[in-house]
Amino acid sequence: MSIAEKFVSMEYGPVPEDPKESLAWLDRHGRRFGLFIGGDWIAPAAGEYFDTLDPSTGETLAAIAQGGAADVDAAVTAARAAAQKWRALAPHARARYLYALARLVQKHSRLLAVLETMDNGKPIRESRDIDIPLVARHLYYHAGWAQLFDREFSGYEPCGVVGQIIPWNFPLLMLAWKIAPALAAGNTVVLKPAEFTPLTALAFAELCQEAGLPAGVVNIVTGDGSTGETLVKHPDVDKIAFTGSTEVGRAIRGATAASHKRLSLELGGKSPFIIFEDADLDSAVEGLVDGIWFNQGQVCCAGSRLLMQESIAETLIGKIRDRMSTLRVGPPLDKAIDIGAIVARVQLDRIQRMVAQGVADGATCWQPQMTLPSRGFYYPPTLLSNVHPTSIVAQQEIFGPVLAAMTFRTPREAVELANNTVYGLASCVWSESINVALQVAAQLKAGVVWVNCANLFDAACGFGGYRESGYGREGGREGMLEYMELSLFKHAPKLAASAIATPPPMEESVETSTPAIDRTVKLYIGGKQARPDSGYSMPVQAADGKLLGEAPLGNRKDVRNAVEAARKADGWGKATAHNRAQVLYYCAENLAQRRSELVQRLSEVVGEKQAAAEVELGIERIFSYAAWADKFDGAVHNPPFRNIAIAMNEAIGTVGVICPAEVPLLGFLSLVMPLLAVGNTVIAVPSERYPLITGDLYQLFDTIDLPGGAVNIVTGYASQLLKTIAEHDDVDAIWCCGDDALVASAKAMSTGNLKQVWTNEGRAIDWFDPKQGEGRWFLENATQVKNIWVPYGE
């Protein structure tokens, strides 16, 4: 083609990135990689290898070790051996290592970018300009946290040995998201890269050697899902951090339930991309290109559900189709390519299957005219319109360049549609009205909201999901907290079994028709006293065995009623922080007025000394959370773009609380007050040992301005009530204090809808010590951070 002809056609010619250096790197390793354990390259014990392919051609790039049980064990042992020394290093020394890694990533940035593109299929433009710079940024940022660790995280300590499992869509970036905070907090790690994309993790292992990182601090064990499973189940791992599918996340929750491993999960999404009629439509379409066609749509936070205001739908669809027609699909090493190859044949098959299913469900499929490369795994940009909100393509993650479009009429309907998903990872809102955008942003159940922008990430801004998109955050201060524990908590002794009453079988319970001996209380649901559905009650004894009274035996129906009441009390979450603070202060004031009668009653169960301390400290505890209610209030980040990111500490929602048996009043207040302070509603199961405290508590709550249903109290046996609470889809989180068996069942039973579970890990928490019994730690677990990104400037 002549230059004159090129001017007319304006067609791009091929501009391939040279893979020479990366191929030389592969050749230097003989195209065969072992495992990186204890600072050395080790052959897998079973001698097994698998191939990693270039998805743009289908050709084999290298043979990769399949790590087995012996290898995982060797890696965990190496990480454990290195843990003490690494943790004991001065923060400044750890900061220097992370800084060195950041510098090395920059020095080798082109090699890493090309390797990433070859292994994953993503356009070089993205790996070069987005993935690798963000990797470096993450390491720099966390070098900073390492430096400041002692001052900024006083009272915390690292988890210990961390097992990390990552997916294939952002191989090196996910590695950095996991390794940087873990090391900054003083942990050592065993990381398993995804089987489709192990190469950049292995290159990173070399950088660790080059940086002189002490042996065993970072270990890389390649392999498939079974390797990941072995790592998850290894008894000497203290924490698991996982990014990947919700299905595997659920399996990991189940597999770790009976252990005390800390867990963070970053799972799937079906993120809404909402465009209002007053949006700048051309910008919104560009945002959409980033939202769904970035990385072939293989992005957990992809804006895969387009929600358009009805009045602009037709115009918008036209603009989207026009823009889609200009997207260039082809070999990802070509610098002028927008959409590269799908990571693997199985993923391509999955996309094709799901799109066919969407069409069978009634959607209209549109794809621009284009010729796909004859080799490799490619899929064209795809628009599904007329999608019904219940269709598989509106509900399930496709993880491909496929957009499912729907319409709405009002902002309210937009929010309803947006939240009509089990996920809650990210969302986009496009409107020129800041009022509309922020109002909608506040109502979206998602960890990230991008206003008039899409798919922006920064190490300083936490990223992570609500609901079945997982829990925990990566990035920001909140991301650091995932890799540490409060020392006082961690070293608390095991809770003695004798501290907890054992529930007698139901048949042995006393019927309510038995005359009350001293005191009978009811349940407290929706701000009213309620009779139990079962018509049974449980005897409550004094320390000397004397029968003190009876408490209702709540059952499944009572729990359901309580959850319904809690859901309806959402006004509490919308109240201002000042208002919540005032209500709590008044609660403390009223408790103080009842001091003597409460001490007298409690004394019979826990003795006079403890009773007096519980009431005195109880008043103080409520004061503390009243004080925090209007001070635990998030941050504004300044990411390196023309944006601010508003990090809001949002209530989790409705929380089921199993209160400690051994400290009836103070234990209840220590758990319920922080949850209320930040706007959650609660269903509490009070101390099994002294459930009669409920009577005092509802008298207390009745005298303050707490909306009915903000706190509900269902007495009964924790182990029995826990099941209904854990299995209820409208309960968002569980706080459970009890012995090992109880907390394990709280975790195991919450796998269904992936509730956040916070427990005492079977430890005896000293509720009388304010350093353990109250603090930001509780508030951090009572909230989830939502980052709302807002651009500025023209």
Nearest approach, Cβ of 423 to ligand NAI (angstroms)?
9
Q: Considering all CA atoms of the chain, what is the largest pairwise distance in Å, rounded to the nearest integer? A: 102
Q: Where are the beta strands (DSSP E) in 328-425?
A: 364-366, 382-385, 402-408
Whether 362 contacts 317, CB under 8 Å: no
Residue 341, interface with ligand NAI (CB under 6 A)? no
Residue 256, interface with ligand NAI (CB under 6 A)? no
Nearest approach, Cβ of 396 to ligand NAI (angstroms)?
8
Question: How remote is the C-alpha of 488 from its chain's centroid?
Answer: 24
Q: Cβ closer to ligand NAI: 376 or 464?
A: 464
Look up residue 431 and give its two tokens. 């409107």
Whether 389 contacts 417, CB under 8 Å: yes
Residues 6+ apart with CB under 8 A from 712: 523, 524, 525, 526, 562, 565, 566, 681, 682, 683, 684
At 263, the amino acid letter reads L
Residue 69, interface with ligand NAI (CB under 6 A)? no
The residue number whose beta carbon is nearest to ligand NAI equals 228
Residue 731, interface with ligand NAI (CB under 6 A)? no
Q: Catalytic residue among 159, 208, 300, 428, which?
A: 300
Look up 266 and say whether it is catalytic: yes
Residue of 218, 173, 259, 247 lying closest to 83 (CA atoms)? 218
Residue 67 carries which DSSP code? -
Look up residue 297 and give its two tokens. 């749509």
Q: Cβ closer to ligand NAI: 195 or 478?
A: 195
Nearest approach, Cβ of 192 to ligand NAI (angstroms)?
6
Among 38, 91, 228, 287, indicate the residue that binds ligand NAI (CB under 6 A).
228
Residue 35, interface with ligand NAI (CB under 6 A)? no
Nearest approach, Cβ of 12 to ligand NAI (angstroms)?
30
Looking at 123-131, 221-229, 455-463, 767-775, which segment touches ligand NAI (CB under 6 A)? 221-229
Residue 465, interface with ligand NAI (CB under 6 A)? no
Q: Cβ closer to ligand NAI: 446 or 615?
A: 446
Look up 365 and say whether it is catalytic: no
Per-position b or e across 114-132, b if 16+ CB within 10 A of its CB: bbbbbbbbbbbbbbbebbb
Looking at 162-170, 211-219, 633-641, 783-791, which segment touches ligand NAI (CB under 6 A)? 162-170
Q: How many residues bind ligand NAI (CB under 6 A)?
A: 26
Residue 186, interface with ligand NAI (CB under 6 A)? no
Among 71, 73, 157, 229, indicate the residue that binds ligand NAI (CB under 6 A).
229
Look up residue 53 and give its two tokens. 């392919």
Q: Cβ closer to ligand NAI: 194 or 718?
A: 194
Cα torsion 470, 125, 140, 640: sign: negative
Among 321, 350, 595, 776, indicate the residue that binds ligand NAI (CB under 6 A).
350
Residue of 693, 360, 650 lying closest to 523 (CA atoms)? 693
- Quick count: other Cβ atoms within 10 Å of Cβ 471? 26
Nearest approach, Cβ of 482 to ligand NAI (angstroms)?
16
Among 118, 162, 199, 300, indicate the residue that binds ligand NAI (CB under 6 A).
300
Residue of 649, 646, 620 lying closest to 779 (CA atoms)? 649
Residue 185, interface with ligand NAI (CB under 6 A)? no
Tell me the CB-side half-sphere exposure of residue 512, using CA atoms within 13 A: 14
Residue 251, interface with ligand NAI (CB under 6 A)? yes
Could you give the string, one character per residue 190-209, with x where binding to ligand NAI holds by CB under 6 A and - elsewhere? Answer: --x-xx--------------
Nearest approach, Cβ of 406 to ligand NAI (angstroms)?
20
Give the relative orientation of helices 199-210 and 109-120 as an angle to the nearest 10 degrees. 160
Q: Cβ closer to ligand NAI: 407 or 784?
A: 784
Among 22, 120, 187, 243, indicate the residue that binds ligand NAI (CB under 6 A).
243
Q: Where are the beta strands (DSSP E) in 487-631?
A: 510-511, 519-520, 523-525, 528-530, 536-541, 547-552
Residue 71, interface with ligand NAI (CB under 6 A)? no
- Quick count: other Cβ atoms within 10 Å of Cβ 3? 7
**Which residue(s) pair with 253 in the sheet?**
none
Residue 354, interface with ligand NAI (CB under 6 A)? no
Residue 167, interface with ligand NAI (CB under 6 A)? yes
Residue 397, interface with ligand NAI (CB under 6 A)? yes
Residue 225, interface with ligand NAI (CB under 6 A)? yes
Nearest approach, Cβ of 431 to ligand NAI (angstroms)?
27
Direct distance between the N- and C-terminal alpha carbons of the chain, in angstroms, rounded to an integer:
39
Nearest approach, Cβ of 304 to ligand NAI (angstroms)?
10
As a whole number of Å, the CA-based R_g of the chain is: 28
Taking the C-alpha atoms of residue 211 and residue 218, their distance in angstroms, rounded to an integer, is 12
Taking the C-alpha atoms of residue 784 and residue 111, their distance in angstroms, rounded to an integer, is 37
Residue 131, interface with ligand NAI (CB under 6 A)? no
Residue 267, interface with ligand NAI (CB under 6 A)? yes
Among 208, 213, 248, 312, indicate the residue that binds ligand NAI (CB under 6 A).
248
Taking the C-alpha atoms of residue 531 and residue 554, their distance in angstroms, rounded to an integer, is 9
| Helix, strand, coil percentages in the chain from 3-state DSSP, rounded to 5 | 45, 20, 35
Nearest approach, Cβ of 687 to ligand NAI (angstroms)?
37
Sheet arrangement for strand 32-33? 32-33, 59-65, 49-54
Among 40, 48, 224, 286, indicate the residue that binds ligand NAI (CB under 6 A).
224
Q: Cβ closer to ligand NAI: 302 or 678?
A: 302
Taking the C-alpha atoms of residue 686 and residue 663, their distance in angstroms, rounded to an integer, is 10
Nearest approach, Cβ of 267 to ligand NAI (angstroms)?
5
Nearest approach, Cβ of 183 to ligand NAI (angstroms)?
20
Q: Catalytic residue among 116, 229, 266, 468, which?
A: 266
Residue 399, interface with ligand NAI (CB under 6 A)? yes
Looking at 67-75, 245-253, 270-278, 592-600, which segment touches ligand NAI (CB under 6 A)? 245-253
Taking the C-alpha atoms of residue 439 and residue 415, their distance in angstroms, rounded to an integer, is 10
Residue 48, interface with ligand NAI (CB under 6 A)? no
Sheet arrangement for strand 536-541? 510-511, 536-541, 547-552, 519-520
List residues with catalytic annotation.
266, 300
Interface residue list for ligand NAI (CB under 6 A): 165-169, 192, 194-195, 224-225, 228-229, 232, 243-245, 248, 251-252, 267-268, 300, 347, 350, 397, 399
